[in-house]
Amino acid sequence: MSYSEQELVRREALQSIRDLGIDPYPSEEFRVNAYSADIIKNFDPEKQNYQEVTLAGRLMMKRIMGKASFAEIQDKDGKIQLYVNRDEICGEDKTLYNQLFKKLLDIGDFIGVKGFVFHTKTGETTVHVKELVLLSKCLRPLPVIKEKDGTLYGSFTDPELRYRQRYVDLTVNAHVRETFVKRTKVVAAMRNFMASRGYLEVETPILQPIYGGASARPFKTHHNTLDMDFYLRIANELYLKRLIVGGFDGVFEFAKDFRNEGMSRFHNPEFTMMELYVAYKDYYWMMDFTEEMMEHVAMEVHGTTELQVGENIISFKRPWKRFTMYGVIEHFTGVDVSQMDETALRAVAKDQKVPLDPTMARGKIIDEIFSECCEHHLIQPTFITDYPLEMSPLAKKHRSQAGLVERFEAFCNKKELCNAFSELNDPIDQRARFEEQVALGIRGDEEAMMLDEDFLRALEYGMPPTCGIGIGIDRLCMVMTNSHSIQDVLLFPQMKPEVKQETVETEEKSS
């Protein structure tokens, strides 16, 4: 393996540290009792607090000034200045300062320090170091990032590099760490909200012999011992509804789902869904519940229901706008498609310049018209309700309008955030819907559902009236963190194979 000049210098420093009898990767516990943000916020010289602090983190700056120097350490909360005096950290032996601190410590090294806090003459909160220890040597130089007028410049702003090397991204880009702190807060707020209602958090299988609960193309794998194929789940819906059959009144799960489909700034093949099923409720109740929970999440994460998302101020304050599916299409296209058959819908799609393919039946065509002509208008949180029967094989038929189902989706910032039904609990109707899906699969629809006999058997034992919802956590976090791409809210998004520099150079020579 070849190393850059800077990497070779660091490896030489590593050996020099070992030659000094210092372990560059010690095993002993280093007990931290303070963090940078807390010290900067709460230090008061008059109170003389923080007089025995122990911090650990990366060395991010070092300014040598003779026997007294300044440095900067970055921990999990931020950065704080260090004051290092040769005579105080070394005593009679000046080796630690003259060799280790001045010459062999590099930006990016993890160090631990002990000392007391004071204010410099310029008023900067600083740790006066009394003891210093190397905790881990950094062998690759960190990229240099500079900020001017709120814009980042430097060698680590390229999105592909940031997603591939998230460990570096988190180190040098403070706003990235804040994004994932907010993501954790979003999930915690939702979990606490549902638990406070008495709903039970559960876990269901990721490996499934029959995939279902959504219209999507699955990943397939093989179990050697059982000698059978499994699918990575595309949704956990059918398992959660089995638990409602079993007697739970409310269950939810934050689930990793997998769909073998295209990738974009809104799609990743591995993503997180929260699904909730509550017995004895319907989709009207679930719309109210969703508004209340999303308002709660915004307040917990931001302290307000109004968020800056791109160029828009988005309000999660209740109540949200509501359109029916046919109503929203007519609102934005001027065309009433409610009574149209497949042939007429294809003509509308052509007029609206909506691309179709021959495998699409009536429900899929309506969905494409909505996606192309309506979604981009839905900036504020909006419910789209009462979908055509063909689009929703797991939803209950509408109680008063033939040909529709009791379903809603919530849209925000032009994209779907969640999908909910009054759940179909008639096993005979459900079997017929599954058989229609099988026919669509034969026609060529790769996203059509499979017929799940065990789920039908569960329904035959009886499932009470139930409403369920699935909320896309990644897309919700995009809105809650004002992120442009789904990759920005995933710590480790899927990427194409990395092209090594040596490979690129070889290809250039051969061409």
pLDDT tens, position by position, 394-436:
889 999 999 999 999 999 999 999 999 999 999 999 999 889 8
Mean pLDDT of the chain: 92
pLDDT at 99: 86
pLDDT band at 262 (very low <50, low <70, confident <90, very high): confident
* C-alpha–C-alpha distance, residues 35 and 38, integer Å: 6
pLDDT at 93: 65
Residue 148 has pLDDT above 60, yes or no: no
pLDDT band at 437 (very low <50, low <70, confident <90, very high): confident
Average of pLDDT values for 473-479?
97
pLDDT cut 70: percent of the chain above it: 95
Residue 177 has pLDDT above 80, yes or no: yes
For residue 185, what are its two tokens? 């807060």
DSSP per-residue codes, 124-185? -EEEEEEEEEEEE---SPPPPEEEETTEEEESS--HHHHHHTHHHHHHH-HHHHHHHHHHHH
- Domains of the chain, with CATH numbers? 5-142 (2.40.50.140), 175-320+380-489 (3.30.930.10)
Average of pLDDT values for 131-159?
78
pLDDT at 203: 97
* C-alpha–C-alpha distance, residues 340 and 361, integer Å: 12
pLDDT at 67: 84
pLDDT at 441: 83
pLDDT tens, position by position, 193-244:
999 999 999 999 999 999 988 888 999 999 999 999 999 999 999 999 999 9
Average of pLDDT values for 308-315?
96
pLDDT at 88: 84
pLDDT at 155: 65
C-beta of residue 297 within 8 angstroms of C-beta of residue 286: no
Cα Dmax for the chain: 92
* C-alpha–C-alpha distance, residues 253 and 498, integer Å: 34
One-letter identity of residue 110: F
pLDDT tens, position by position, 195-209:
999 999 999 999 999
Residue 477: closest CA among 285, 302, 337, 291: 302
pLDDT at 301: 97
pLDDT at 508: 44
Residue 247 half-sphere exposure, CB side, CA atoms within 13 Å? 0
pLDDT at 154: 60
Residue 94 has pLDDT above 80, yes or no: no
One-letter identity of residue 184: T
pLDDT band at 504 (very low <50, low <70, confident <90, very high): very low
pLDDT at 463: 98
Left, alpha or beta for 42 (phi > 0: left; psi -120 to 50: alpha)?
alpha
Residue 510 half-sphere exposure, CB side, CA atoms within 13 Å? 6
pLDDT at 443: 82
pLDDT band at 506 (very low <50, low <70, confident <90, very high): very low
* 137 three-state secondary structure: coil
Name 471's Cβ contacts closer than 8 Å, sequence gap at least 6.
190, 273, 274, 275, 276, 290, 417, 418
Average of pLDDT values for 450-462?
95
* C-alpha–C-alpha distance, residues 175 and 371, integer Å: 32
For residue 56, what are its two tokens? 């650990």
* C-alpha–C-alpha distance, residues 49 and 40, integer Å: 12
pTM: 0.89
pLDDT tens, position by position, 27-78:
999 999 999 999 999 999 999 999 999 999 999 999 998 888 999 999 999 9
Lowest average pLDDT, out of 153-157, 264-268, 344-348, goes to 153-157
Residue 285: closest CA among 180, 421, 377: 421
Angstrom CA distances, 366 to 325, 354, 369, 388, stand at 9, 10, 5, 8
pLDDT band at 91 (very low <50, low <70, confident <90, very high): low
Average of pLDDT values for 184-198?
98
Residue 248 has pLDDT above 50, yes or no: yes
pLDDT at 153: 55
pLDDT band at 145 (very low <50, low <70, confident <90, very high): low
Average of pLDDT values for 116-132?
95
Average of pLDDT values for 467-486?
96
